[in-house]
Structure 1
């Protein structure tokens, strides 16, 4: 993060002079209506200009935020819908540069996530925040929320925004890494279906070049003793099975995950499997990883391409 980024963040989060000099009663009234989940009162207040002018104002204890953020944090869906109907800024930032969507994801409020995304919320959160909704959902195992985010165009290969000196950490902090180490197999599979790179958590070549020995996802799964299903999924989705270095005498080790890897190295992929990988890669390169259903091919082949067979 450079000085320009820091300056931009502070400028976004500075309260307007008008807000500083105005009585806070109106803002408190809006927040109280949201806190009480009183959508009717909130609607009546916002019909009055003296209240509506504070619809995007940040206030409150703890982490000052907008009324929309407060509704997202409590999962008060009806209040959230009222705020959006009255023109609340869907991607407003709190003092940590987190959007209401990020807050809804963090608290596991699926309905709020859906409404915010339908209202145009950026599925990747704020560019000024180090984390992202996808990383949070992958870590928490929130499969339905992760599906909504990816379905609205969130990046499956997103990485945490860390400084250069922490790049050795950044290379192993992607969504697939988090889903694996926290044991969320369904999220792991979903990310792969949406084009997540099966080799590394990061697709930034410059970043990978700075890391002395970037660890592959197979490395990570073996290190954390993940179930064999994780290794099989990586193999099925085209991971380079020769990247992990296995210095031990593994031929005598009774480990299902390692045996899967050794078997994959010994037996070439079938032509059908290779064709599936080529088609999926082509769709990902065209930024349409979910366009498989639109292909003019038999349904049984579509199921195979979607790893449903």
Structure 2
């Protein structure tokens, strides 16, 4: 146990050192007059994309396009534009070569900032410019987790459509494995009552049992909590239970406490019925097809299948 903890501590220290090395300003940048940086930031603050464009046409300003500065959370001009939702400034900065995945001092990317502030148009532009939909590997959270928690369905759709991982989890130390194992976006969507986000995540391949594909993490937890457990614990509407059943959740994993076995609870009734009634052949075929597409990293390739439209709709859970 001591060896494991020491290795974990060492790895965490390495990660922290790496983060700080990434965020340290260059020596040359520290000694440079800050007037150019302030001019760029002011243009962004004012949402003056014309002035911003004119400044960036001059080398003396453009060399600071990816420099971090400002009060509060120092960041790049692109991060600042994304936080305010100044779309035209975001477009100008990207056109002049701004680093789309630049980090602020909290290891958050401009995309993460745009998602956190709910700026859908900026999210779209950043993703189209190549922003990583998963955010930074050095940040404990991710854009998908934030969107699922906030119920930002349109933003979540954009992220998943650009390849974001629906089974992402918060980055936590080994000793917090029990918490990390139930920190995925499905858990957040359920706890915060965002049924549309919950359904969308399942459509994009979120695991209906644990919302986690890290077998090592699950093995470290004596009894990891399933999505069904979480939904019952938080008194989620029956629709959540039905979706999990329809998307292939193992209905035998959760153990219902004595006070939840009453048939007056619609969710419990759905689970009991699912345990008593075998899945139909049609339902099993849907699960197999969707699982095969997910394994080939093409969960949205259903529309390309040469099958009748009514079956396409069934595979997409639209009927």
For residue 213 of structure 1, report the CA deviation from its aligned partner.
1.1
For residue 246 of structure 1, report the CA deviation from its aligned partner.
1.5
For residue 212 of structure 1, report the CA deviation from its aligned partner.
1.5
Q: What per-residue deviation string (whole Å, max 9, x for no partner) do you get for residues 114-149 of structure 1?
A: 000000000000000000000000000000000000
Distance verdict in 2 for CA 1:251–1:58, change over 3 Å: closer
When structure 1 is superposed on structure 2, of 182-191 and 242-251 the one drifting more is 242-251
Q: What per-residue deviation string (whole Å, max 9, x for no partner) do you get for residues 221-272 of structure 1?
A: 0000000000000000000000001141655441000001001111111100
Look up the SS of the partner of 1:144 in the other structure. helix
Write out aligned runs for 1:105-184 (5 A). 105-184=115-194
Distance verdict in 2 for CA 1:39–1:252, change over 3 Å: closer
State the alpha-carbon separation in 2 of the partners of residues 126 and 170 from structure 1.
18
State the alpha-carbon separation in 2 of the partners of residues 127 and 165 from structure 1.
20
Normalising by structure 1, report the TM-score. 0.98
For residue 4 of structure 1, report the CA deviation from its aligned partner.
2.5
Q: Which runs of 5+ in 2 are unaligned?
A: 1-10
State the alpha-carbon separation in 2 of the partners of residues 238 and 62 from structure 1.
46
State the alpha-carbon separation in 1 of the partners of residues 131 and 301 from structure 2.
23
For residue 45 of structure 1, report the CA deviation from its aligned partner.
0.4
Distance verdict in 2 for CA 1:278–1:27, change over 3 Å: same
Look up the SS of the partner of 1:84 in the other structure. helix
For residue 203 of structure 1, report the CA deviation from its aligned partner.
1.4
State the alpha-carbon separation in 2 of the partners of residues 178 and 247 from structure 1.
23
State the alpha-carbon separation in 2 of the partners of residues 251 and 138 from structure 1.
30
Q: What per-residue deviation string (whole Å, max 9, x for no partner) do you get for residues 137-188 of structure 1?
A: 0000000000000000000000001000111100111000000000000000
State the alpha-carbon separation in 2 of the partners of residues 68 and 251 from structure 1.
53
Which aligned runs of 4 or more in structure 1 are off by greater than 2 angstroms?
Answer: 1-4, 249-253
For residue 5 of structure 1, report the CA deviation from its aligned partner.
1.8
Please say if residues 75 and 105 of structure 2, whose CA atoms lie closer than 8 Å, have aligned partners that are also in contact.
Answer: yes
Please say if residues 177 and 217 of structure 2, whose CA atoms lie closer than 8 Å, have aligned partners that are also in contact.
Answer: yes
Look up the SS of the partner of 1:252 in the other structure. coil
Distance verdict in 2 for CA 1:249–1:105, change over 3 Å: closer
State the alpha-carbon separation in 2 of the partners of residues 169 and 265 from structure 1.
28
State the alpha-carbon separation in 2 of the partners of residues 287 and 76 from structure 1.
34
For residue 8 of structure 1, report the CA deviation from its aligned partner.
1.4
Distance verdict in 2 for CA 1:56–1:244, change over 3 Å: same
State the alpha-carbon separation in 2 of the partners of residues 32 and 230 from structure 1.
47
Normalising by structure 2, report the TM-score. 0.95
For residue 208 of structure 1, report the CA deviation from its aligned partner.
0.7
